[in-house]
Amino acid sequence: MNQRTRTLGIGEDVDGWKTVMLIYNSALKEVGTKLEILNDEFQHVHQYNPIEYIKSRIKAPESIVKKLKRYGCESTISNMTEYVNDIAGIRIVCSFISDIYRMAEMIGRQNDLTVVSVKDYIKHPKRSGYKSYHMLVTIPIFLSDRVIDTKVEIQIRTIAMDFWASLEHKIYYKFEGNAPDYISRELRECSGIISMLDAKMLSLNEIVGKAKEEQEAT
């Protein structure tokens, strides 16, 4: 089969929006299946699921246009595929921080995925207090006559981080990005509390694991 691999981007000859959406949807399916397999295998080997749940979405056209405007780019299909990295987005929600890094490592080891960049907002939270682990990956999508490397943004976070982010997102939109200072301060404080909770839950989980091992050994 004579297939060429290339990156979807400026100068690309895909005909229009529908084709691009088909490709991004296919990329979501591919990455989603990979994650399910990793989770199932982990359950099989360790009798434990690192993933609590997965959410995926295609970015709304208005949000794509808004982002392009913010970047100072014209709203064209080639600009969108070139500059907007999170058109296809998958969010993996885990119980513990250790699961996040475990998942990231397993994803990084998949030979047919290319990790383009990583942003660790857990070690380096955003000023807002936002915490999450972001991986930008590309996955080859095999069409009938060509192969297109397609970008997917993977966000990995704990349940507590997800709770904080969805609340903050709602507040952000309520105030159109200009929340009063005292609300932003409160949110940063909540982000700190969430980190403490995540750390406490992780150490509790480790204590439970050790206690169980000791119990089984006796």
For ligand 0O2, which is the closer residue by CB, 42 or 156?
156
For ligand 0O2, which is the closer residue by CB, 96 or 133?
133
CB of 98 to ligand 0O2, least distance (A): 22
For ligand 0O2, which is the closer residue by CB, 42 or 134?
134
Q: How far apart are CA 115 and CA 189, in angstroms?
A: 33
Please choose, from the candidates 34, 53, 35, the residue with its C-alpha nearest in 3D space to the C-alpha of residue 162. 53
First to last CA, the chain: 60
CB of 96 to ligand 0O2, least distance (A): 21
The tokens describing 158, both together, are 């704990």
CB of 85 to ligand 0O2, least distance (A): 5
For ligand 0O2, which is the closer residue by CB, 4 or 170?
170
Residue 204 neighbours by CB distance under 10 Å = 11
Please choose, from the candidates 27, 201, 51, 44, the residue with its C-alpha nearest in 3D space to the C-alpha of residue 114. 27
CB of 57 to ligand 0O2, least distance (A): 8
> Of the residues 62, 74, 105, 153, which is catalytic?
153
Q: How far apart are CA 199 and CA 161, in angstroms?
A: 12
Residues found near ligand 0O2 in the complex (CB under 6 A): 59, 63, 67, 85-86, 119, 126, 128, 130, 134, 165, 168-169
Please choose, from the candidates 118, 64, 56, 114, the residue with its C-alpha nearest in 3D space to the C-alpha of residue 90. 56
| Catalytic residue check, 153 | yes
Residues forming the active site: 153
